[in-house]
Chain A
Amino acid sequence: MATSTIELAKSWLCEGRSALQVDDLFFRYRTTSEQARTWALEQVSFQVAAGEILGIVGPNGSGKSSLLKVLARLVSSHRGTILLGGQSLQQLSQHDIAQIVAVVPQEYVQVFPFTVAETVLMGRFPHRTPRFWSIGFGDDTEKDLICAHQAMIETDVLSLADRLMSDLSGGERQRVVIARALAQEPKILLLDEPTAFLDINHQIEICSLISRLRAERRLTVVLVSHDLNVASQYCDRVLMLKEGRLYRIGSPVETIRPDVLRMVYGCEVVVDAHPQTGRPRVTMPVGIGSAE
């Protein structure tokens, strides 16, 4: 074996070819309850080009988060093929995947009082080589510190290094979680609702951070959002899910349209152009009972 699968995947991604290829994907959760018998994802096929930002949108329960979890193999037992850097996801170990894909989960619950610096350094876990005699004390190498330091500068959390995670505000915590993902040195970043529960200023901050990271680190980004405007303004392409099926994928102009949204969400919305970017902007219509 001259080159391992993981090396092939990494070099594939460096060449800037399609980062993710999903073909005829089926997935359902392994539970015994009746309602869970249905597929969470059905017949989903799409590609993600290297360096693009893909937004996944859809109504609640349409399978957005499930799709993200399947892509990082946080849940297994899917049917169909997923190619990560040209290599089948099945052939890569969890450890291999972690060297390429980083995940920023929707909620980040930290039970124990770790400091910000400790949290970010945990992102180095997939790159640590376990030494038998280190009795668990795998000392942080200089490379680990450099990567953590760099990630903390990029997300502007270096000044928080010695603070406890529990003492941070929502926006700060989200930046630290992104720093942890960056310390992982991923090629692909998956984010689940990165702006949920954040104030407008932090929403802007996180979104512009993601755009900047894509440019600076040449990251491929897949983000799930319930906020259609976030998807429209910050994503190159938008993937729409409806009841576990891919309804439409394309540029924001092609997807964020009143007729498409009516079909997917089953409601009327107002879509006009954003005054600065010209991209579609979604607002609630004046309905019965609303103040005029």
Chain B
Amino acid sequence: MNPVTQVPPPPTHVESASIEHPALTTDTAHLLSQWMKTGSILTLHRWLLVIGGLIVASVVVLVVCLEFGATPVEIRTVVGAILSLLQREHIDADGLGTPGVIMVQIRLPRVLMGFLVGASLAGIGVTLQALLRNPLADPYVLGVSSGAALGVSLAMLLGIGTGFALLPTLPLFGFLGGLLSLVLIYRLAQSQGRLPVHSLLLAGVILNAILTALIMFITTIMDPNRSAGLMAWLMGSLTAPSYPALGVFVLYVAVVLAILMHKAQMLNVMTLGEDIARSLGIETEWVKKQLFVLTALLTGAVVSVSGMIGFVGMVIPHVVRMLVGSDHRLLFPASALVGGMFLVVSDTIARTLLAPSEIPVGIVTALAGGPFFLYLLLCRKDRMN
């Protein structure tokens, strides 16, 4: 079986092999305006329009939600309180009055925290969906949140970092737990370089069950006084952080979200599958590792401050994708803004529905998102049949 190796035939075209492009400059301008109209491609114009609009909407939502709560505070008082706060050199609680104190010390930090948590969850969702090529991916459904929660509960059990003062330790444990479960689920679901949609979800469900059992085990061996707090946190709830803690959180989340957004083009290409991404020049193994670490960092931070808030990461990107298209350069920031708004509204409902007592916000988002998830699953089934 000797292969007959033959000298290849002489090339037919030896002269300059560069491709001459016809001068298309005027045509291109025309084409661009045409594509802009039909929404075929993302243009800077559309990007600014959508993001600008969403920023305005976010500010409105934040201000309106400040008004609601166990103690009603009027919007004028809200604005007045914020303005007077800005005018003062130093913040003193006495000058603000009771509504002002509620506003500045409790409601404002909580609403801001809610916005950041929602934005992060949506950002995690978008990234995971692109990375796993699965529109149903969500940190909560896949067990990444449970992994992070297990890490945080373990830290609490061991007594490392019990409050916001030691913010970095809880997110660190959350990060490690989240990363571990993310890598595990990827390994479990992957077969022959592919990630079948259903095996991914199945692996997530199983992993979630195991991790939840471990968390429950931790709560049972824990001091009963502390385990009640742990349970409330696990269901997903927001609290008013101190301003230094909020500051650290803002910085942390902003940096990770900015890095992820910087990779938006890469996320676009990653959705086409690993072979195509490689053929377009992406070192997929390296990029995957980066994205795993970044999403786990964000999940760890979010879970350590707010517990397990589900479905924001799945529902929001899905809805936003239907509205603005799949290009991650727009999808990512738009989802983050919408996710922030969604969680602030959900938290306002959680705060006010049974006031003066509170419902964990995780229950609100799960009740809103769970049925939506089922609806999507049914739609997919229809399309497959």
Residue of B16, B24, B39, B135 near A112 (CB, 8 A) is B135
**Which bucket holds chain A's interface residue count?**
35 or more
Assuming the contacts A16-B14, A112-B271, asked whether A247 and B3 have C-beta atoms less than 8 A apart, the reply is: yes
CB distance from A187 to the nearest CB of B (A): 8
Residue of B24, B40, B273, B279 near A118 (CB, 8 A) is B40
Q: Which residue of B is nearest A240, CB measured?
A: B3
List 14 additional A-B contacts (Cβ < 8 Å) besides A105-B276, A122-B280.
A49-B8, A74-B279, A96-B281, A98-B279, A105-B279, A110-B271, A110-B272, A111-B133, A114-B326, A122-B268, A135-B261, A150-B24, A162-B40, A254-B4
Whole-angstrom distance between the alpha carbons of A111 and B32 in the complex?
26
Q: Does A115 contact B (CB under 8 A)?
A: yes
Whole-angstrom distance between the alpha carbons of A118 and B282 in the complex?
18
CB distance from A135 to the nearest CB of B (A): 5
Residues in B whose Cβ lies below 8 Å from that of A146: 21, 24, 28
Contact check, B4 vs A99: say whether CB atoms are below 8 A apart. Answer: no
CB distance from A192 to the nearest CB of B (A): 9
Assuming the contacts A111-B135, A218-B13, asked whether A69 and B35 have C-beta atoms less than 8 A apart, the reply is: no
Q: Which residue of B is nearest A248, CB measured?
A: B4
Contact check, A72 vs B279: say whether CB atoms are below 8 A apart. Answer: yes
Whole-angstrom distance between the alpha carbons of A99 and B25 in the complex?
23
Q: Which residue of B is nearest A260, CB measured?
A: B4
Which 4 residue pairs are nearest across A and B when measured between Cβ atoms? Answer: A98-B281, A136-B264, A49-B8, A117-B40
Q: Does B328 contact A (CB under 8 A)?
A: yes
Q: Does B74 contact A (CB under 8 A)?
A: no
B residues with a Cβ closer than 8 A to A are: 1, 3-14, 16-19, 21-22, 24-25, 27-28, 31-32, 35, 38-42, 44, 47, 129-130, 133-135, 258, 261-265, 268-269, 271-273, 275-276, 278-283, 321, 325-329, 332
Q: Which residue of A is nearest B11, CB measured?
A: A16
Whole-angstrom distance between the alpha carbons of A87 and B263 in the complex?
30
Contact check, B327 vs A46: say whether CB atoms are below 8 A apart. Answer: no
12 of the cross-chain contacts (CB-CB < 8 Å) are: A15-B17, A46-B3, A108-B276, A110-B271, A111-B133, A114-B271, A136-B328, A147-B21, A184-B280, A187-B17, A249-B3, A249-B5
CB distance from B111 to the nearest CB of A (A): 25
Residues in A whose Cβ lies below 8 Å from that of B22: 150
Contact check, A137 vs B44: say whether CB atoms are below 8 A apart. Answer: yes
Contact check, A118 vs B272: say whether CB atoms are below 8 A apart. Answer: no
Q: Which residue of B is nearest A31, CB measured?
A: B192
Contact check, A74 vs B16: say whether CB atoms are below 8 A apart. Answer: no
Residues in A whose Cβ lies below 8 Å from that of B273: 105, 109
Contact check, B17 vs A52: say whether CB atoms are below 8 A apart. Answer: no
CB distance from A111 to the nearest CB of B (A): 5
Q: Does A125 contact B (CB under 8 A)?
A: yes
Whole-angstrom distance between the alpha carbons of A96 and B278 in the complex?
11
